Every structure is written in structure tokens, then in C-alpha cells.
Amino acid sequence: MFDNGNDLKAIHDLLAKDAIAIKGTVVRLRRRLHQYPEISNQEFRTTALLKKELAKLGMEIHDGHAPTGLWADLDSGRSGPMVAVRTDIDGLEVTEETALPYASKVAGRMHACGHDAHMAMLVGAARLLAKQRKRLRGRVRFICQPAEEMPPGGARPLIAAGVLERPPVDVILASHVDPVLPTGVIGLCDGVSMASVYDFDLRVIGRSGHAALPHTAVDAITIAAEIITGLQQVVSRMIDPMNPAVISFGSIVGGQVRNAIAGEVRLKGTARSIDRALTRRLPRLIQRTAVGIGRAFGAKVEVTSISGFPVLVNDPRVNKFIAAAFRSVYPKGMLRRLAPIAGAEDFACYLERVPGAMLRLGVGNKRIGADKPWHHEAFMVDEEALLIGYCTMAATVVDLLHRWPGRYE
């Protein structure tokens, strides 16, 4: 068993060598997953494939009594921490426009956020660690989580099913591909890394009427417009300008014909913040402002809370482990310290309970077209980055198993 720095460096070298040997296998798995994306809570084929791949490695498989998603345990047979590695597994309702030979074969579905790469890298890391099982201590839990893209998300149901228990998880890791960062770079952010998200629906109930007689009606469209504008005032006039927040609407539906005043409008909105206290305030501010504007114009406004993800807070101690492992297996790689972003991830739900961190893996390569943002119909990843991702993750797990402070010291 590896106990000192020299021993851990030796196992890093073995991981780096083995990572190159399985690179083709991992890329093929990623392409297979890419061709058959499944949307949130419908990842049946994906779950079956991941279960098959992890079962090959002699792992104990758990399904959490849910139709999709699973977790699998690699047990070294020695006392030590429980280190978890999580991947998301769902695709998006996006029509792919990449012209890749392995493009999505499912109409209107695409892995446009890199979850196919995340899954392949998790399996790659699992293969590396399973080969070194006799040199490890403790356990590694590989979490394949559904429904990251669809609030309320898949993290909380897995947590409720016991994914962080029996035995308890001591520390958790995840990675997310990032086309802004070039291949060869990983990004780390200590503390607050991603924003909270609060999704909500609004229903403006007015009274329909003839377009030429607006005084006899209550115009739900104009009131909805006032609400949209008014909620921007929440951000600019009710929130400290040094504490960033954003409220956006992605859908507004109302009315049927041009010469009739609409009696009802429905809106779909989202609010983001990187401050926990503000995250708790935003729903109340949205409710008060929207209902108040509606009342002022004689309309009823209903606000329905859809979901919320907490602020994603990385543990600086875990980031130090990731940075050290990355430098060990890729001494020529580049590490960047990142600022928080307004994107949201339900990996944050695990981090509310267990220390951990999410690294961002550079997959950008403009030469091959891998420069489109997440959720773009032409989103691509540079597959050369996958090896860096799964090898860094495996090396970090090894170090955590042997050096994470806690009850095993």
C-alpha cells in the first residue's frame, strides 16, 4: 500500500501510463454515448450502458430504487475514506448541428453540455483505479446522476436514496468540460464557484376584451411587460450593486389574435445569485413585486416556484488536492484560477453536505470548432482533453484516499 509522497508519485506514474493505453476505449465510449442522448429522467439506455461498464470492473452496483441513475462502489478491502466521483448523465432538447460522424442519432436530442464526456471520463477513472485496487485504501463511489438539466434536478433524489451514506462519503469530486478553457488547462475556483438558481413561473390573469376598447378589459400582455421591467428594478434598485444577481425570462405566452386583448399571460423565469442570503431573499422580492404590479393594474398574478439549486461552494482543501494531482500527472499542463460564474449546477447539493469540489476541464480548440458555448447546437469538445480529465481525477482520488484528514488518521 502507498503511504508516502514517493509512493503516491509512483502510482501517479502508473495511472498516467495506463491512461494512455485506454484512451481509445474512453473516446469510443464517449462517442457511443453522444450518439444516443436521453433527456432528464429518461436516461434508461444510458443507465444500462454505465451499469454494464462499471459492473465489468467488479463493483457493487446500487440503483437507489429509481428508474435511472446509479452508483457503484470500488472497495479496496482496507480501512480508509470514502471518496465519491460524480457525473451527470442527461442530454438536452437541442437539435445537433455539428456534422460529426458520431452526431446524435436521436432527433431533437443532443449532449450539448458535455455530459457524454463526463460519463466517459468517470468510466475511464474507474478503470484506472480498479486496476490499482490492491494499492488503494478505503472505497471509491462512482455516482451516475440523472436529471442535472431539469430542475429540481437529480442530486437531491439520489441523496434521499442514500448515495452519501452506507458508509458515509467523506469527500466528493466532479468535473465539467469548459470550451472557454483550451485543452491542456484545468480551472479551479475556491469557495463560491457557481450561482444559485431559482426557477419560477408567473401567471398574469386579467380580463380579455376588444383591442379597440382597452378600458373595458384588463390587458395581461401590457401588465406582463410591466412585470418584466419591474423585476429588472429589483436587481438594479433593491439589491446591493456589489452583490451580483440576474433575473431573466425565457418564455412568454399570451393572446391569440391581434385585435383582442389577452386575458392571460404565462411567463417562465429564472433568477441567479452567488450570495446565499440573497438567494433566500430573491423569491420574496419576485413575489412581492410581481403581485404588486398586477394588483396596481387590476390583475391577479400567481407566482409558482419551480425549483432551486444552491450556490456551488468548492472546498479550497479539495482544490489543493486536485491541483497537486494535476501537476503530478501533467507537469506541462496549465492551471488557472477562475472567478465565479452565473451558471448553476446541482452538484452544489452534494457540497452542502460533504466537502468537495468541481474542476473545469479545458476542451476548447477553435481549430476543430470546439469553441461554442454550453447548450449550443454546435457544441463540441476536443477529445484530446478527455485523457487529462480522467487521469487527473483518478490521481486526485488516490491522494484523497491516502491523505484526506479525518477519522482514518
Could you tell me the end-to-end alpha-carbon distance of the chain, in angstroms, rounded to an integer?
Answer: 15
pLDDT band at 1 (very low <50, low <70, confident <90, very high): very low
Is the link from the previous residue into 167 a cis peptide, with omega within 30 of 0?
Answer: yes
Is residue 2 pLDDT above 90, yes or no? no
**Tell me, what's the pLDDT at 64?**
84
Express each pLDDT in 293-337 by its tens digit: 999 999 999 999 988 899 999 999 999 999 999 999 999 999 999
pLDDT band at 156 (very low <50, low <70, confident <90, very high): very high
Is residue 249 pLDDT above 80, yes or no? yes
Q: Check: CB of residue 263 under 8 Å from CB of residue 220.
A: yes
Q: Check: CB of residue 354 under 8 Å from CB of residue 172.
A: yes
**Tell me, what's the pLDDT at 6?**
73
Quote the percentage of the chain above a pLDDT of 70. 98
Is residue 131 pLDDT above 70, yes or no? yes
Which run of H or of E encompasses 16? helix 5-21
Q: Domain 196-309 falls in which CATH fold?
A: Alpha-Beta Plaits (3.30.70)
Q: Check: CB of residue 190 under 8 Å from CB of residue 317.
A: no
Quote the percentage of the chain above a pLDDT of 90. 94
Give domain limits for the chain.
Answer: 5-194+312-403, 196-309
Half-sphere exposure for 201 (CA within 13 Å, toward CB): 9
pLDDT band at 49 (very low <50, low <70, confident <90, very high): very high
Domains 5-194+312-403 and 196-309 share a fold: no
**Tell me, what's the pLDDT at 308?**
84
Q: What does the mean pLDDT of the chain come to?
A: 96
**Tell me, what's the pLDDT at 199?**
94
Mean pLDDT calculated for residue range 196-223: 97
Residues sharing a CB contact under 8 Å with residue 349, sequence separation 6 or more, in sequence order: 153, 155, 156, 159, 309, 310
Higher pLDDT, 257 or 408: 257
Q: Domain 5-194+312-403 falls in which CATH fold?
A: Aminopeptidase (3.40.630)
The Cα 75–Cα 112 span in angstroms is 34
DSSP codes joined into one string, 84-95: EEEEE---BS--
**Tell me, what's the pLDDT at 152?**
87
Is the link from the previous residue into 283 a cis peptide, with omega within 30 of 0?
Answer: no
**Tell me, what's the pLDDT at 307?**
80
Eight-state DSSP code of residue 112: -
Mean pLDDT calculated for residue range 367-382: 98
Higher pLDDT, 395 or 405: 395
**Tell me, what's the pLDDT at 3?**
55
**Tell me, what's the pLDDT at 5?**
67
The Cα 250–Cα 269 span in angstroms is 6
**Tell me, what's the pLDDT at 153?**
93
